[in-house]
Amino acid sequence: MNTFHQIVWLGRRSLLFTLRQPVQIVPSIFFPLMFLVVIAAGGDRASTIPGFPAESYFAFALGGAFVQGTMLSGVNSGSKLAYDIETGFLDRLVLTPVGSGSILIGHMIGSLAVSLIQLFTFLAAGLIGGVHIAAGVPGILVMFALALAVSIAFSALGVIVGVRTGSSEAVQSAFPLFFILLIFSSYMLPRNLMEADWFRWFATANPASYLIEGIRSLVITGWDLGALAAGFGTAAGVAALTLTGAAVSLRRKAVWS
Amino acid sequence: MKAYLDSVRAVTRRNLVNAIRNPALTVQPALGPIVFLVAFGGGLSAFGDIPGFDFPSGYTSFQFVFILMQAGVFNGVFLGITLARDLESGFARRLMLAIEHRTAMVVGYVLAGAVRSLLMFAILFGVGLAAGMQIDGSAWHMLALFTFPLLLSIVGSLFASGIALRFQTVQAAPLMFMPSFMLLFLSPLLVPFDLLSGWIKAVARFNPVTYFLEAGRGFISGRPHDTLLAYALGAGMVAVFSVWAVRSLKRAEAAG
């Protein structure tokens, strides 16, 4: 079996595993969607703050929901891998000629599928909520591309945590850390309106801000090449680091097994 | 009566000793509210610039009241998770066999939750002061303010204990968290009630947490209002969820 076939079979398994368990899908769609709807409704008047960049707070917050959802579903893939370790499946798998790259990519296919379902759901919620995507249909495609890049980057991070800990509970207990990463970003307010210097500094140093601002620019501004370059550059940088880390972790796991 | 009180004291003491010996039980519920206080108070202060936002004590104080309510509710829910864990391990079942009046067990857990909440409120108060929170109310106003999250902590404990007793597993935790999360977030969290609009205003109007928040914000700004309504709602919720917890206990007893 060549590498392509290995990826297809492992990807199929990951996809079926994910789709057969609504508990894998529903929370990572429901929580960001609920957070978006509630925060957007409660913070609706924020659009009247002098200097606020959008006419609707819902449109402003939509990009954050995209990143939150894809981040969560990405990390969730680590919990699936940890489950495979707990049940001994991964140990048996690494005894076969299947490469660690195939295992990694195969695992990500399930989380990418969840991310796609999320993206369509959030987009539908946005459109129902009256959001107009400033960059039009091509912008939606670019939004999806950036969001899927985020999903890949954080899937790999989930794989690292899953392989290192071997515990799905440990992966899930890392979720609040990602929520903190989002809360201390430009998810809820643009950086130029943050009045506390320390918070603005933290949000500027936080990669999640650039991922959110890249997607947000397509929703509220149109084609802002600077924001898109920062978004894709950050996603590529994080993905390069986490994919390398995930590949190394899986290879070490194979050697120990 | 003495036997009942002894049972309550023993269960409360055991829970508090557990919390001291296992600091994660105290630290974990406190982390969320602290993060929210720092993030919302510090990062979202521009919400205070919204035209019509009339809260002279500042946005950190405005958010502090919400964070207290959140801490109260979530601490109550974590107490329910502790009970669920004790039921799962069989400890609570042995406890139910050992004590004469089993409601004393629930009262003991709820009391322990209330004491843990008070400790958490003190920590949050310190964090709030460090974050530059402005207090315009008197010492009495502040004491009165803390009664609202305490009431919510008791309500949260009773609600979560009921879930724990019915399902007897930690896996029921999402059933405890979800309604609590909804109750908290469908309230005037980011702006005062008068600045809400659309469907959230209609929902928030029927959400008791709204009245706790409004009354609590009145206390911290030294301009108390709608306090009687908030206390009446709190008393009503304690009564309703006490019945819920006792009925759940009966169901657990019937299930053996």
Q: Could you read off the pLDDT of B127-183 as tens digits, one per residue?
A: 999 888 999 999 999 999 999 999 999 999 999 999 999 998 888 888 888 899 889
Question: CB of A43 within 8 Å of any CB in chain B?
Answer: yes
* pLDDT per position as a tens digit, B68-119: 999 999 999 988 888 888 888 888 888 888 887 888 888 999 999 999 999 9
* Whether the predicted pLDDT of A18 surpasses 90: no
Q: What is the mean pLDDT of chain B?
A: 89
Q: Which of A170, A13, A166 is nearest to A102 (CA)?
A: A13
Q: Which chain B residues are within 8 Å of A50, Cβ to Cβ?
A: 49
CB contact under 8 A, A189 and B196: no
CB contact under 8 A, A48 and B50: yes
Q: What is the DSSP letter of B1?
A: -
Contact A156, A70 (CB under 8 A): no
Q: Which of B79, B70, B55 is nearest to B209 (CA)?
A: B70
Angle at alpha carbon of residue A213, lines to A70 and A131, rounded to 5°: 80
The confidence score (pLDDT) of residue A180 equals: 86
Radius of gyration of chain B (CA): 19
- Residue A102 to residue A246: CA distance in whole angstroms: 12
* Whether the predicted pLDDT of B25 surpasses 70: no
The confidence score (pLDDT) of residue A236 equals: 97
B4/chain A closest Cα distance in angstroms: 38
Average pLDDT over residues A49-73: 90
Q: Which of A185, A188, A50 is nearest to B53 (CA)?
A: A50
Question: CB of B119 within 8 Å of any CB in chain A?
Answer: no
Q: Which of A190, A60, A57 is nearest to B46 (CA)?
A: A190
Q: Which of A94, A98, A74 is nearest to A18 (CA)?
A: A74
Average pLDDT over residues B53-61: 90
Task: Write down the domain spans for chain A.
Answer: 3-256
- Residue B195 to residue A62: CA distance in whole angstroms: 21
Q: Which chain B residues are within 8 Å of A196, Cβ to Cβ?
A: 42-43, 45
Q: What is the DSSP letter of B49?
A: G
- Residue B89 to residue B173: CA distance in whole angstroms: 16
Q: Which of A177, A183, A206 to mutate to test the interface with B (most CBs of B within 10 A)?
A: A183
The confidence score (pLDDT) of residue A243 equals: 93
* Whether the predicted pLDDT of A256 surpasses 70: no
Structure tokens at B242: 């006490």
Q: Which chain B residues are within 8 Å of A198, Cβ to Cβ?
A: 42
Average pLDDT over residues A162-189: 83
B201: exposed, middle or buried (Cβ count in 10 Å: 0-12, 13-18, 19+): middle
For tokens 């290192």, what's the residue?
Answer: A164
Helix B24-43, helix B59-89: angle, nearest 10: 160
Q: How many CB atoms lie within 10 A of CB B236?
A: 12
Q: How many CB atoms lie within 10 A of CB B240?
A: 13
Q: Which of B128, B15, B115 is nearest to B65 (CA)?
A: B128
CB contact under 8 A, B51 and A41: no
- Residue B220 to residue B66: CA distance in whole angstroms: 12
Write the DSSP string, B60-107. Answer: HHHHHHHHHHHHHHHHHHHHHHHHHHHHHHTHHHHHHHH-S-THHHHH
**Cα B234 to the chain's mean position, in Å?**
11
Q: What is the DSSP letter of B53?
A: -
Question: CB of B236 within 8 Å of any CB in chain A?
Answer: no
Q: How many CB atoms lie within 10 A of CB B222?
A: 14
Question: CB of A232 within 8 Å of any CB in chain B?
Answer: no
Q: Which chain A residues are within 8 Å of B50, Cβ to Cβ?
A: 45-46, 48-49
Q: What is the DSSP letter of A144?
A: H
Q: What is the DSSP letter of B131?
A: T
Task: Report pTM.
Answer: 0.84
For residue A35, the chain B residue with the least C-alpha distance is B185
Question: CB of A42 within 8 Å of any CB in chain B?
Answer: yes
* Whether the predicted pLDDT of B255 surpasses 80: no
State which amino acid sits at residue B94: R
Q: How many CB atoms lie within 10 A of CB B223?
A: 14
Average pLDDT over residues A199-207: 94
The confidence score (pLDDT) of residue A77 equals: 77
Structure tokens at B226: 């709608």
Confidence of residue A255 (pLDDT cuts 50, 70, 90): low
Confidence of residue A215 (pLDDT cuts 50, 70, 90): very high
* Whether the predicted pLDDT of A167 surpasses 80: no
Q: Which of A172, A177, A181, A199 to mutate to test the interface with B (most CBs of B within 10 A)?
A: A199
CB contact under 8 A, B200 and A46: no
CB contact under 8 A, A49 and B197: no
Question: CB of A44 within 8 Å of any CB in chain B?
Answer: yes
- Residue B39 to residue B62: CA distance in whole angstroms: 13
Long-range contacts: A86-91, Cβ < 8 Å, 24+? A86/A166, A86/A167, A86/A168, A90/A253, A90/A257, A91/A257
Q: Which of A64, A73, A40 is nearest to A209 (CA)?
A: A64
